[in-house]
Copies of this chain bind each other. A is one copy, B any other.
Amino acid sequence: MHFEAPLALQSGAAIRGYALSYETYGTLNADRSNAVLICHALNASHHVAGVYEGQDKSEGWWDNMIGPGKSVDTNRFFVIGVNNLGSCFGSTGPMHPNPDSASGQVYGANFPVVTVEDWVHAQARLLDQLGIQKLAAVMGGSLGGMQALSWTLQYPDRVAHAVVVASAPNLTAENIAFNEVARRAIVTDPDFHGGHFYQHGVIPKRGLRIARMIGHITYLSDDVMNEKFGRQLLDAVRNGNLSAASGVSEPNAVGSVGAYKFSTQDVEFQIESYLRYQGDKFAEYFDANTYLLITRALDYFDPARAFGGDLSQALVRATCKFLLVSFTTDWRFSPKRSREIVKALLDNRRDVSYAEIDAPHGHDAFLLDDARYMGVVSSYFDSIAKELGVAA
């Protein structure tokens, strides 16, 4: 969807002549009441569900959650996935030509800083174009959950339900710290060229790799890392002397004492191999400027800020019903952070459901299959469907 009119941004800047990539699933009902907007986190897109024709491995990033007969049932709901401004999966971003550049240069580092609030405004414009006045639900995990929460504050009349998963009312100092290290890794990569690397025909892959490795550590729990990788050596696995089923740690350490390579640069432990692989893969497709923009949007989000830090005051405007979900081993956006939102909503006597799921996978759990998690979301959407009178 192309938008010619300028969108005023929170920074005071504006962006014009931009496009948003979006996908829809299911059918909008006659009274246009069954729309569900899905908001994405750092490394995701409008492609939330399903596979593209002829591309077996192209599952949407929340395909386990959304689809016909799934927790968010596209037989009942009209689901919309939208790629945010500044992202690198189709919507206008730093790699696209800046309409204000006489020479048609791409934005690069000049792409305006966008915030969660800006994304929500842009999403609202998209809904206007789609003829949707009010959402049955807005839903997201992590940074996507922040957008869902922000919807309830910026457009309280346009949201009936908000589903906020593994999210937080703002970043802690530690969250910001991890973002900052990742950004510094990118910005100080000589191939970054101040964000104008496109003209130089290079990509700051070294920085992107480091950023992604840091990210991955914070997405996983210490427990699941120990369970998946422990102190297992890469070669122990290659040599087949590790039982994959044991999982926890080297089953026969005596036999593998001699297996250390005594190298500081070669991969020695499996966890190293995993992180390097994730870093390499990410550096192939993710845009460095997008990484900066999205992590900054995370840093800036803080609805309580305009209320002296009082989240309860900030959430007075939120009138819809809520489902919040958190995961016990998520140390990035821990259950404590979700409970802060729950408490602030209860202070305002809002209708809130909250599920704290006992899952070992850390922050990543919000993207993974878990019967209790899927069950909670499924039940919640059943109740929305009942309210709306939509049947499967």
Contact = CB atoms under 8 A, between A and B. Distances in A.
5 contacts: A109-B264, A113-B262, A180-B276, A181-B217, A254-B306
Contacts of A257: 305-306
A281 interface: no
Contacts of A214: 181, 214
A140 to B, nearest CB: 22
Given A249-B309, A254-B307, A275 B180 contact: yes
A185 B257 CA distance: 28
A32 to B, nearest CB: 35
A78 interface: no
A388 to B, nearest CB: 37
A328 to B, nearest CB: 16
Contacts of A217: 174, 177-178, 181
Interface string A105-131: 000010011010000000000000000
Contact of A253 (B195, B264, B271, B306): B306
Interface in A218-243: 220, 222, 225-226, 228-231
Interface in A186-219: 187-190, 195, 206, 209-210, 213-214, 216-217
**Interface majority SS on A: helix, strand, loop or mixed?**
helix
A12, A187, A217, A307 — which one has the most chain B CB atoms within 10 A of its CB? A217
A73 interface: no
Contacts of A300: 260, 262
A271 B180 contact: yes
Interface stretch (A52-60, A291-299, A342-350): A291-299
A11 B262 contact: yes
A103 interface: no
A252 interface: yes
Nearest to A279: B184
A289 B264 CA distance: 9
Given A253-B304, A254-B308, A271 B176 contact: yes
A126 B117 CA distance: 63
A268 interface: yes
Contact of A176 (B180, B209, B269): B269
A249 B214 CA distance: 26
